[in-house]
Copies of this chain bind each other. A is one copy, B any other.
């Protein structure tokens, strides 16, 4: 596994990752964070600055993520996005609530796209954000579409972090919850991530039969009554089946 990996590059990416929770960092701060000699860190940082992946704030002397990283980030093409966005727009016009597309990234889900009501339109600040798979409807939807061994493996691996009083922090309850999702085809999240926020989600399968993405509708709990959620669930299942078929999924294997 640990072969043919260029270390200088990995270290550079480690440095970039330091900026996940901090907006601006100095050379020494970074070198402490990832246990790298100040001089080495400086060399890498200088290189990243030279390539505009980092920028120096001349007034503070510290560094921040650079414009080139932003630019290249926008170049990442997800065919999935092109395929799914029209469906999200359809969902928005149907239910007048925010529709999301997420993909699985290991033990996390990453928001790829968010179609909101016109009121708050703009580049969504949530796009690109990352959440653990157990705390969201989309996470549970994806989990429900994984084979049992992989499902168990993830649940064993991740800490069930409590976000609200309703967050499911018990493995067995989570597993039961997911079994129900497998029957109904869609997952729900009742303020498990945030008080006042309710979500409905369904998984998207690829050609190998694995759930790797999901779409959801999210809205204030007050507007998400049982009947509406059921309609949303049905629509989501219909749509994800269509998308999965587009992606080459044949609903023959594993339920």
- Contact A19/B75 with A9-B8, A113-B122, A115-B121 known, Cβ cut-off 8 Å: yes
Q: Which residues of B contact A78 (CB under 8 A)?
A: 67, 70
Using Cβ atoms and an 8 Å threshold, which residues of chain B touch A6?
8, 12, 43-44, 47
Interface string of A36-71 (1 = CB under 8 A from B): 000000111011101111000000000011111111
A17 proximity list for chain B (CB < 8 A): 72
**A124-132, A135-143, A186-194, A195-203 - interface stretch:** A124-132
Q: Does A183 contact B (CB under 8 A)?
A: no
Contact A44 B9, beta carbon cutoff 8 Å: yes
Chain B's closest residue to A58 (CB) is B208
Knowing A85-B122, A113-B122, A118-B121, the reply to whether A5 touches B69 (Cβ < 8 A) is no
Any B CB within 8 A of the CB of A226: no
Chain B: which residue is nearest A85 at the CB level? B122
A209 CB, min distance to chain B CBs, angstroms: 14
A64 touches B77 (CB 8 A): yes
Which residues of B are found within 8 Å of A8, using beta-carbon distances?
Answer: 6, 8-9
Q: Report the separation of the CA atoms of residues A72 and B64 in the bound assembly, to the nearest whole angstrom.
A: 12
Chain B residue at minimal CB-CB distance from A119: B118
Residues of B within 8 A of A66 (CB): 76
A20 within 8 A of B: yes
**Is A123 located at the chain interface by the 8 A CB criterion?**
yes
Contacts of A85 in B (CB 8 A): 122
16 A–B contact pairs at CB < 8 A?
A: A6-B8, A6-B47, A9-B48, A16-B72, A20-B75, A64-B76, A67-B103, A67-B105, A70-B78, A70-B112, A70-B128, A71-B128, A74-B127, A74-B128, A74-B129, A89-B122
> Given A6-B44, A89-B122, 15 other A-B contacts at CB below 8 A?
A4-B47, A5-B46, A8-B9, A9-B47, A9-B51, A17-B72, A65-B72, A65-B75, A65-B76, A71-B110, A73-B76, A74-B128, A75-B128, A114-B123, A118-B121
Closest 10 CB pairs of A and B: A73-B73, A74-B128, A70-B76, A118-B118, A121-B121, A65-B76, A6-B47, A8-B8, A13-B51, A71-B128
